[in-house]
Structure 1
Amino acid sequence: MNLFQLRAFDAVAREGSFTRAAERLFISQPAVTGHVKQLEEHYQVNLFRRTARSVELTEEGRRLAAISRTLFALEEEAETLLDANRKLLSGRIEVAADGPHLVMPMLARLRARYPGITVNLRLGNAQETLNALLSEHVDIAVVTEVDERPGLHLRELVESHLCALLPQGHAWCERSDGIPLEELDQQIMVLREPDSITRRTFDRACQARQVQPLVQLELDSREAVTEAVAAELGIGIVSSLEVSRDPRVRAVPLLGEGLAPRHSIGCLERRRGLRVVSAFMELAEEGAS
């Protein structure tokens, strides 16, 4: 087997793009395309479905990608073992997070200490972020409400707290001591999508107390929730880590149990020894202490 061809395939599978795969490997796009084509022709198999706008793995491609990720991860671990004392003057780390507020200060500390490290950051909801880590599409993930599991190394960073997001002028805006969750019963709400950790945490707390808010609008971003609240379409729910500085809205803490999500940083246990991964974990823990 030609490992140059397999490495090109692995890069396209990870990036979902021949162009980004070329950037990842520091070679030209035609070279990547050629390597993948030669691999497919030699083994008489289609590894990708190509359209004008996207590249998707076939079933055979998905099975091969699972092997290639493991193969090249082991290669990286071997290189790290042989080069353990070398300074982090250059390199690349793939990071995923379910929100920007915790991860950005980490990236700032990484840049200050290791300016030669290139970071690829992916932002998504909580499930997308965890899936990216477990499928080895990223090296590090900042996640919320994830429990310990075999093969996963987690370090808790901080707890946040859910707040009611209100339009300025709302009667509850001056309740700085907080709003009991029960008072949201039958209140018109504008919330994130059901897969959002903020939404799931809020829903569980409401179910435990038999609180039934009137959810009349579901939105797929924090920014959209802020705009809806500012337009007085209902009360929103936000994490205390994500409170907007928008003068049109105000966040007031919610009172009750089960309203404090846990935020952690994690990596796969077997990749914990990679130098760039361990350096990032150390910086994250320094910031949390």
Structure 2
Amino acid sequence: MNLFQLRAFDAVAREGSFTRAAARLFISQPAVTGHVKMLEEHYQITLLRRTARRVELTQEGIQLAAITRAMFGLVEEAQALLESNRQLLTGRLEVAADGPHRVMPMIASLRARYPGVVVNLRLGNAQETLAALLSEHADVAVMTEVEPRKGLRLQEMPPSQICALVPQGHSLAGKRIDINQLDQQIMVLREPSSITRRTFDKACEQAGVQPRVLLELDSREAVTEAVAADLGIGIVSSVELSHDPRVIAVPIVGEGLTNRHMIGCLERRSESRLIAAFMALDGRVDSA
């Protein structure tokens, strides 16, 4: 069995691309392609389906990828252990997050302490971020409203507050809004699957408040633009505030208007030095 071929396959399976796999391994794309091709030809098996836009794993490829992820994960842990006496931490850390606002300052803090570390960041929604961690496509993850489960180590971060987003000059700007004031107000909100939206909807239900949701949008940037255009009141998490002079965030007073944020890793990998270094970060960011 050729470990170079398995390493090339594992990189393609993790990255979903021959180009990104080559960058991960610091070799040429033709070399990666050649290694995978020889592996498939030697064992007379198809591991990958190549299309014009993406690379997909076959059923056999999925089974092999589960093995190679575990195998090379242990290799990386052994390397980290052997390098533990180095003055400067080096290596590569795969980070997943369900938004950029919390994780970017954490990455900056990590890089300031350990400039030799290479970080690969994957951004997605809450479900995609948790799935990346559980499938070992990510070493650590910054997540929102994740329930504890066996084999997962979660570390609490400071919570965030749900705020109303209004145009500058709005009658509610500069005040604290009671959630009851939003009853029958015209609002522009994220899609129902958004965690911020789910938290707000649940708080409204508990308070007996019924906003008039006339526009649903798939990004916080779109919500900001809609509010700036005076299409309605928006909702945003206090950790996602942008410095846009056209809009202002106003705290909402009411029950259940906070979100819990966590740093997570797999329990069995929590002693990895790189992972432990990231888990030790405070995770606090300015919300002003």
TM-score range, shorter chain: over 0.9
Aligned AA (1:110) = L
Task: Report how many residues are paired.
Answer: 285
Q: What are the within-5 Å matches in structure 2 for residues 14-163 of structure 1? A: 14-163=14-163
Q: Distance in 2 between matches of 1:174 and 1:285?
A: 30
Partner of 1:168: 168
Partner of 1:197: 195
Partner of 1:273: 271
Aligned AA (2:21) = A
Mean Cα deviation higher: 130-139 or 96-105: 96-105
Taking a change above 3 Å as real, the CA distance of residues 128 and 173 of structure 1, as seen in their structure-2 partners, is same
CA contact (8 A) 1:125 1:195 kept: no
How much does 1:46 deviate?
1.8
Q: Distance in 2 between matches of 1:280 and 1:239?
A: 23
How much does 1:240 deviate?
1.0
SS at match of 2:282: helix
Q: Distance in 2 between matches of 1:183 and 1:210?
A: 11
The answer for unaligned runs of 5 or more in structure 2 is: none
How much does 1:254 deviate?
1.0
How much does 1:207 deviate?
2.1
Q: Identity of aligned pairs, percent?
A: 72
How much does 1:286 deviate?
7.8
Q: Distance in 2 between matches of 1:60 and 1:210?
A: 52
Q: 1:244 aligns with which of 226, 242, 245?
A: 242
Partner of 2:231: 233
* 1:126-158 Cα distance to aligned partner (Å, 9 max, x none): 222111111111111111111221111111110
Q: Distance in 2 between matches of 1:237 and 1:198?
A: 8
SS at match of 1:261: strand
Mean Cα deviation higher: 65-74 or 8-17: 65-74
CA contact (8 A) 2:196 2:236 kept: yes
Residue 213 of structure 1 pairs with residue 225 of structure 2: no
Q: Distance in 2 between matches of 1:150 and 1:129?
A: 17
SS at match of 1:233: coil
Q: Distance in 2 between matches of 1:57 and 1:96?
A: 21
CA RMSD of the aligned region, Å? 1.7
SS at match of 2:258: coil
Aligned AA (1:188) = I
* 1:19-66 Cα distance to aligned partner (Å, 9 max, x none): 110110111111110111111122222222211121111222222211
* 1:242-274 Cα distance to aligned partner (Å, 9 max, x none): 122111111111111111111111111111111
SS at match of 1:246: coil
Partner of 1:285: 282
Aligned AA (2:128) = E
Taking a change above 3 Å as real, the CA distance of residues 170 and 32 of structure 1, as seen in their structure-2 partners, is same
Q: 2:220 aligns with which of 216, 219, 222?
A: 222
CA contact (8 A) 2:106 2:283 kept: no
Mean Cα deviation higher: 227-236 or 214-223: 214-223
SS at match of 1:160: strand
TM-score w.r.t. the length of structure 1 is: 0.93
Taking a change above 3 Å as real, the CA distance of residues 160 and 287 of structure 1, as seen in their structure-2 partners, is closer
